[in-house]
Structure 1
């Protein structure tokens, strides 16, 4: 079957500095029958090319699925008199939310069955569920399209009947006031930016809801949440580089909102409440890697902030948890996370030790103040996700739950390690690897290199039972901890954004070269993968060094950076000027123009590329990857297949459901394995 040839319609994209010709711009007409026909033709072509892998896809899917328990309960957590549990039942795709009063031996109470919500829909995403403080009412939200526009419903837990109240087009998060009669929620504007907070009174029409906050600055997004103490409700308004928080007592929804600290350019902070004070993690006063301060509730402004944990040049403070006797810090040192315990009364501190060369550790769900027990999570490239209970007083650890991997999986059959590659500017970039012990360290060994590198988001080394299907077939899996994330602190992020964005791409390329030079693989056997902003990464790399990779998997890739960032009607655009730069300013325009994957496709021999997208994706619109594929296919001189797979019923996160998403991963792995075995 021949690949689809997208028609070309002359279209000029106007910018302050030049006009660009974009003949595939017509693809952004979502309801145009020709657009739908083209996407369907691309799907048929991808199916045709991948037809020889159909049996392998089926085998991979069943293999991945078989490693999961078909029925499984989450680890229960206790809050406000009840134990809460999430359950997956055999033969069902979606979770069931339950609770038990006071003890785990009590009768189960059904809160919500997402399987019932999913009936009649091909997609379902449960946004959130929340119970009122008197434990009588439930709020829950869900999206059946994938655009991340959630509808909120309410249920009387005593009768099991839904109330008439319905809130549409929300961000999905609902916060209950202390009186059990009012809730706060967030709505979105036409560009899907969360910008307005409203107060709803149960039993009244939505049209009567009160707007309590509206964010006029299009670079800011709004969220609403409640403190761990349940005593305060916060509205956070945040851009990429600045934060502002308003608060009021949850017991008095009609009291005036107070600002904690007015927004200031480049001042970031997040807040939690304890006793008569607010504890704040912030980068104030040059604390690049953040510090912890506290301030009285009555005088919350920055002039009253008192240092609790000072800024450290080599330690990135990522989070904290408060107990009545202890302060727990989540911090990153030389790329690895550690959990530090500080006793308030004595100031004594200690660190929970971890042994793997690369891993992920994090503070878990801890809803109580008056306890010496800390829940934390741990996983590595070879060890399944586990939740532990750590007694901060006795320093003893107890395993509460470990991800069960069915079949013949044994962690000792796999090895993980961390290497350091020297980037072209001399910076040392970490690479986390995992492989089966029997896999040779050879130039003939296939290796999948994964990267992201944006928004300060760090891709840590964690376990994947799905990934075993690739490792058991001789692949090495590697994560390049490139600049743009915060693996080596806040400066690591700053050196991979705005006018330094190309460092992200150079780091990834230099990591691949390092692995080749070390004899771990070769250009004939190395593959690249990235999603969303990681799709931008692999798209840019494909233009810069197409000969370096045998194949590339680009998941929902952000590849038309310049056109998107010039269009303020597209979701996320205005809020991301501080990440990519504002292309209405010439220096940013020219820099983005120099790396944007779509704008830099040229006649050259591109590798085999598999591109995926969701028709209802609100973060990276489907037409970005569709246009990119059309242009790649037009210019590529290699004859290698360039495939586009569009899920017509999902959004940015792909298929919904516990097992349905495995079809996507089976397809990607089959694509890679087919390339490896059919050079």
Structure 2
């Protein structure tokens, strides 16, 4: 006789805290002691309990993993991109976890089209003249975790700066490789952040370090061959609510330094990355602008193009003097619009490239530099690449959503590298000539063993309780009807103005092949409908995010896209907060809730400015330390604070020990409290990756295993383990 697995019980050791005359008592705050052997033993027990409870799902997990593997072309390579005399690309090999980064020499014939046409490389066939820059599989040897935090090649092509993380905590080791010998230089700097950059001469490397709260605080400059203890501080940002970053100007000559949060920022420029010249401020934070500034050359004169939100929530584009100044001194290039959100700015030697959002999804516009800011200025090209005009769904506004995004372009390139991808459109890589928009398809991501004609995707619009129209993306096999009999999985995020844009997923097909309707609820707090959509789901309007998701679920059920009792909800990180909130607010709607690295104890975290990123979060959620209204509002929705005696659905939390964005302690405390109050017999489980970070374990095969675990969990909960007839043929 098999005994029923019993969940681990963490002892209660109450700790009280008082804010705004309100005292909260937390029985499991002691689980935050990450180095404690008692805590580690408890976490391992939680993982073992999850394994025992879900043991019967292992065959399904293996089947899904096999499906993902069978459909993925494992030996593949990216389309080469030209930069300073080389074609750079990444390739993967069957059986290998990580990408290999490589290059081959480019040639100059004087024929512009020929010189900028990527070489045709065949996956699995050796590339003549290939130079391997970095092999992730070699770098990962002997380490339980591996993540690459950035690569940068010097302008002369002889040095490579790269950053690696071996634990998942996003603290990187910075090294520099001599590409003429393939050997690493003695220079080694521990504890850096993402994206190191070599200066134009290649004799110095710029890197970022974080403070104790994991906030990027300083930009440092290291001279190769010297002791890192003598490195120079280029820039320091002392405001705990501001994020610091540095990136090269489009021509690669200057360093742009940006500090900011979700509401305003500041930009400095370091001319020529000259050690004898100090950075100069070009957009002051006192202007309270969200913005992006790029230097350009117009008629031999250096100017600034600034994308900003002065009296323009959806952004406008302006031309400014090289010294910056104030908006009243700037010339408007593209005015603001209620229908189009201007979201990003890049430049080549001849064109501006704008990433915009219209009709909820990303597009790309271009604007020639020739005549910019004069009466002869051309209208922006809108958009590059065609959008498939295929109707679907039940409403007049139901057009198949497709993402078109700018990927890269060398400063001197006549071509822009763009991608086009949809939920059922494998990613395409296009080169588009900036001068006339002529496009050439370079690659479509290969997928094996399926016919995408067997699936359907369309846009629907749910109605929120306040009358707001919420966009939904609905996916299913074509032989699954909206007759109220299908299992339904609803995914959501809804924070930080992040949009859940169309993206192709091989793994998701395994859900659809089991008759699942998969829906993405584009709830308020994201950026799908412009800046106002975000503002309606942050700070003291955050409840809209949660009620939108619940209203979307109910709409889907009312319109036949799911069967009551066979509905699962999924979300991660801030989307995990969403999962915890909807489980409290509408537990009867869901058979299961899957919360990935869930932010389920936000009030405790944000009340402690010493915790990673807490101070940065004030611009998203409000500051509960200073504002009693924010404190009361957050306490009213925080999942951990609002558990109650109801029949909770089956719940799984997934976390990682070394996650620095959402600490493991949040789900660890949450599952303990859930088990105490739930009146149902559904188990509450938590898995923990002991050698991983915010994204879980590293390596593509480990990632596939994670997706298989998630899918097996929700498929089991909605009684949809078996392939539907016809799906076996793919």
In the superposition, the TM-score normalised over structure 1's length comes to 0.97
> Match for residue 366 of structure 1?
409
User: Deviations along 1:69-121, whole A, 9 cap, x unmatched?
Assistant: 22111111000111101111222111111111114476111111111111111
Aligned residue pairs, count: 676
For residue 597 of structure 1, what is the aligned residue in structure 2?
Answer: 639
- When structure 1 is superposed on structure 2, of 287-296 and 141-150 the one drifting more is 287-296
Deviations 1:466-513, CA, capped at 9 Å, x for gaps: 101110110111110100011111000000000000000010000001
Q: 2:174 aligns with which of 127, 148, 152?
A: 152
Aligned CA distance change for structure 1 residues 630 and 403 (closer, same or farther; 3 Å): same
- Picking from 280, 294, 297, the partner of 2:306 is 280
- Which aligned pairs between 1:183-332 and structure 2 lie closer than 5 A? 183-250=205-272, 252-264=274-286, 266-275=288-297, 276-284=302-310, 286-299=311-324, 302-332=327-357
Any idea what the Cα deviations from partners look like across 1:23-64, whole Å, max 9, x if unmatched? 011110101112111111111111111111111111111111
Distance 1:325 1:205 in 2: 41
What is the deviation of 1:394? 4.5
Query: Residue deviations 1:541-562, cap 9 Å, x none?
Result: 0000100111111000000011
After superposition, what is the alpha-carbon deviation per residue over 1:369-397, rounded to whole angstroms, capped at 9, x for unaligned? 451x2221111111111111223445432
Q: Name 1:649's counterpart in structure 2.
A: 691
Deviates further, 71-80 or 177-186: 177-186
1:484 corresponds in structure 2 to: 525
Partners of 2:257 and 2:270 within 8 A in 1: no
The aligned counterpart of 2:425 is: 383
**What SS is found at the alignment partner of 2:440?**
strand
Question: Offset of 1:643 from its aligned partner?
Answer: 0.8
CA shift, 1:145, in A, is 0.5
Summarize deviations over 1:102-159 as a string: whole Å, max 9, x none.
Answer: 1447611111111111111110000011111121111110000111001100111111
Moved more, 166-175 or 475-484: 166-175
Partners in 2 of 1:364 and 1:519 — Cα distance?
Answer: 38
The 1-side partners of 2:694 and 2:446 are apart by 28
Distance 1:22 1:678 in 2: 38
Q: Which residue of 1 aligns with 2:78?
A: 74
Residue 546 of structure 2 corresponds to residue 505 of structure 1 = yes
Kindly report which structure 2 residues correspond to 1:399-438, keeping only aligned pairs within 5 A, or say none.
399-407=441-449, 409-438=450-479
Give the 3-state SS of the residue equivalent to 1:172 in structure 2.
Answer: coil
Q: What's the secondary structure of 2:286's corresponding residue?
A: coil
Residue of structure 1 in register with 2:39 after alignment: 35
**Quick one: distance in 1 between partners of 2:586 and 2:304?**
50
More displaced stretch, 423-432 vs 382-391: 382-391
Describe the shift of the 1:394–1:649 C-alpha distance in structure 2 as closer, same or farther (beyond 3 A): same
Counterpart in the other structure of 1:473: 514
* Separation in structure 1 between the aligned mates of residue 129 and residue 512 of structure 2, nearest angstrom: 43
1:25 aligns with 2:68: no
The answer to whether the aligner puts 1:53 opposite 2:62 as a matched pair is no
Which of these residues, 179, 188, 191, is aligned with residue 169 of structure 1?
191
Q: Residue 9 of structure 2 aligns with which residue?
A: 5
Distance across 1 between alignment mates of 2:364 and 2:211: 39
Per the alignment, residue 630 of structure 2 pairs with: 588
Closer, same or farther: CA 251–553 of 1 in aligned 2, 3 Å: closer
3-state secondary structure, aligned to 2:426: coil
Structure 2 CA distance for aligned equivalents of residues 351 and 299 of structure 1:
29
Which segment is superposed worse, 156-165 or 392-401? 392-401
Q: CA 1:334/1:17 → structure 2, altered by over 3 Å: closer, same or farther? A: farther
Where do residues 111-126 of structure 1 align in structure 2 (5 Å cutoff)? 111-126=133-148
Query: Residues 81-160 of structure 1: matches in 2 within 5 Å?
Result: 81-103=85-107, 104=119, 107-160=129-182
Specify the SS of the correspondent of 1:250.
Answer: helix
Aligned-partner SS, 2:716: helix
Give the Cα separation in 2 of the matches to 1:16 and 1:185.
Answer: 40
Check the 8 A contact 1:17/1:586 in 2, yes or no. no
**Off by >6 Å, runs of 4+ in structure 1:** none
Q: Does the CA-based 8 Å contact 1:260-1:301 persist in structure 2? A: no
Contact 2:292 2:344 in 1 (8 A): no
Q: Which stretch shifts more, 69-78 or 327-336?
A: 327-336
Q: Of 314, 325, 337, which aligns to 2:362? A: 337
Relative distance call for 1:265 and 1:528 in structure 2 (3 A) is farther
- Residue 675 (1) aligns with residue 714 (2): no
Determine if contact 1:241/1:265 at 8 Å carries over to the other structure: no
Q: Counterparts of 2:700 and 2:106 in 1: how far apart (Å)?
A: 30
The offset of 1:463, in angstroms, is 1.0
Listed one character per residue, the Cα deviations across residues 182-239 of structure 1 (whole Å, up to 9, x for unaligned) are 1211101111111011111111101111112111100011111101111211111112
Q: CA deviation at 1:302?
A: 4.2
* 1:437-490 Cα distance to aligned partner (Å, 9 max, x none): 111212220111110000000111221011011101101111101000111110
Contact 1:614 1:649 in 2 (8 A): yes
**Matching residue within 479, 484, 489 for 1:443:** 484
> In the TM superposition, what is the alpha-carbon distance from 1:430 to its structure 2 partner?
0.5
1:149–1:156 CA distance, 2 compared to 1 (3 A): same
For residues 404-451 of structure 1, what are the alpha-carbon distances to aligned partners after superposition, in whole Å with 9 as ceiling and x for unaligned? 1122x1221111111111101111000011111111212220111110
Distance of 1:318 and 1:246 partners within structure 2: 20
Residue pair 1:223, 1:237 contacting (<8 A) in 2 also: yes
SS at match of 1:477: strand
1:247·1:258 contact (CA, 8 Å) conserved in 2? yes
Structure 1 gap segments, 5+ residues each: none
Deviation of residue 257 (structure 1)? 0.9
Distance 1:417 1:678, change over 3 A: closer
TM-score normalised to the size of structure 2? Answer: 0.90
Shift of 1:299: 4.9
RMSD of Structure 2 on Structure 1 (CA): 1.6
Native 8 Å contact 1:278 1:300 kept in 2: no
Instruction: Establish whether residue 351 from structure 1 lines up as the match of residue 393 from structure 2.
Output: no
